[in-house]
Structure formats: structure tokens, C-alpha cells
């Protein structure tokens, strides 16, 4: 069981992927996908399309390929220990090391990161959480990894305060699949 990672890759349709309690690598590819990582430190990529991503428990990494249209994705249950990984550095116009997000508090709280300048362009919306800024945590394997807390300035052994954020999962039972053709994947 140690170190085993189970991969889940979907096709072109609108897929509903559910991970296991272990670390999963999950790729939605094209289509408007819904991906649940469940327990474990999952790696989740919605790919193109407007995806709903939920890492669940564990220190999850959401991967975005900026060379494609990533769409208007939503991330649910984002935690301090979760990460975003991009294959290029996010724009930081004022150069203060903080990537400012837009916070909306009119209908519940959400925070939005715009990935381009187009009016209805690519974006990531963090649901039910107020995140004012993202911070570059590290560069690893050509990826730029961001989190919601600034990295510690000293060489402290632990950078992560994730333990303090065991928030209960918020389940929206009314996920409207509309006319989606759904496939479900369960891994034992």
C-alpha cells in the first residue's frame, strides 16, 4: 500500500471521477468534469472544460496546463495544505509575491483567480472560502506551486499548517448534471 498511486484518466465526455482513500492521479481531460479525490494526497487535473474539483482530505495538488484553455473551474473544500501547480508562473503585476484574488461575499463567500484577461476567460473559483492571495511556495519539476499561505521565511522544518484545517466537508447534494452523460469510476 505504501507509495501506491492509482491513476484515473477519463476521456472526452463529461465525467464524474471518484478517487479512493489512497493517493490518486486524476485527469478529467476535455469535457466538464467533476472530480472527487477523497482521502489521500491526490493530484487532480480538470483539463479543458468547466470542471468541479474537490480534493477531499489530504494535501492535494490541482494541476493546470496554461498552454490550453483550462476553462472556468471551481475548487471545493480547498484547504491550507492543498496546492495549485501551474506550468508557468502566475502574473504578479505589482511584484509583491502575492497573487491577489477577487473575493465575492454577496452570495456566500468565494474567491476567484483569473488566469487570463478575457472577459469570460479561464479562471479558478474557490467556493466557500475567502482567499485574498496565493503565494508561490516552490518550483518543482518545471511547475510553479502555489498555496494560500506565504511560505515561512526561515528554514523551519514544517511549512504547512494544514493540520489546523480539518474542516467538515460541505456537500452540495444538488449537483445538477443537466444533460451530462456521466460515467462513474470507483476504485476499491
**Which residues make up the interface to Ca ion (CB under 5 A)?**
19, 24, 28, 31, 33, 37-38, 40, 42, 46-47, 49, 51, 55, 60, 70-71, 73, 79, 82
Smallest gap, in angstroms, from Cβ of residue 155 to Ca ion?
A: 25
Looking at the Cβ atoms of 155 and 188, the one nearer to Ca ion is: 188
Looking at the Cβ atoms of 40 and 97, the one nearer to Ca ion is: 40
**C-alpha cell, 102:** 477577487
φ and ψ of 35, to 5 deg: -125, 125
Looking at the Cβ atoms of 70 and 136, the one nearer to Ca ion is: 70
Smallest gap, in angstroms, from Cβ of residue 179 to Ca ion?
A: 16
As a whole number of angstroms, the distance between CA 18 and CA 185 comes to: 6
Looking at the Cβ atoms of 49 and 147, the one nearer to Ca ion is: 49
Contact (CB, 8 A) for 109 and 129: yes
Residue 107: closest CA among 134, 78, 131, 127: 127
Contact (CB, 8 A) for 70 and 115: yes
Smallest gap, in angstroms, from Cβ of residue 67 to Ca ion?
A: 13
Residue 71: closest CA among 83, 87, 89, 53: 53
Amino acid at each position: 500500500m505504501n507509495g501506491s498511486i492509482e491513476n484515473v484518466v477519463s476521456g472526452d465526455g463529461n465525467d464524474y471521477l471518484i478517487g479512493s482513500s489512497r493517493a490518486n492521479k486524476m485527469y478529467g481531460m476535455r469535457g466538464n468534469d467533476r472530480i472527487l479525490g477523497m482521502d489521500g494526497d491526490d493530484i487532480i487535473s480538470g483539463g479543458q472544460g468547466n470542471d468541479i474539483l474537490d480534493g477531499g482530505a489530504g494535501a492535494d495538488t490541482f494541476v493546470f496546463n496554461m498552454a490550453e484553455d483550462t476553462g472556468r473551474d471551481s475548487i471545493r473544500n480547498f484547504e491550507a495544505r492543498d496546492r495549485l501547480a501551474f506550468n508557468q508562473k502566475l502574473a504578479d503585476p505589482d511584484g509583491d509575491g502575492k497573487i491577489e484574488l477577487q473575493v465575492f461575499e454577496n452570495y456566500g463567500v468565494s474567491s476567484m483567480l483569473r488566469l487570463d484577461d478575457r472577459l469570460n476567460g479561464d479562471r479558478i473559483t474557490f467556493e466557500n472560502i475567502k482567499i485574498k492571495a496565493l503565494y508561490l511556495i516552490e518550483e518543482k519539476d518545471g511547475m510553479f506551486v502555489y498555496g494560500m499561505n506565504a511560505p515561512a521565511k526561515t528554514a523551519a522544518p514544517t511549512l504547512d499548517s494544514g493540520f489546523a484545517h480539518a474542516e467538515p466537508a460541505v456537500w452540495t447534494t444538488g449537483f445538477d448534471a443537466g444533460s451530462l452523460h456521466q460515467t462513474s469510476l470507483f476504485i476499491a
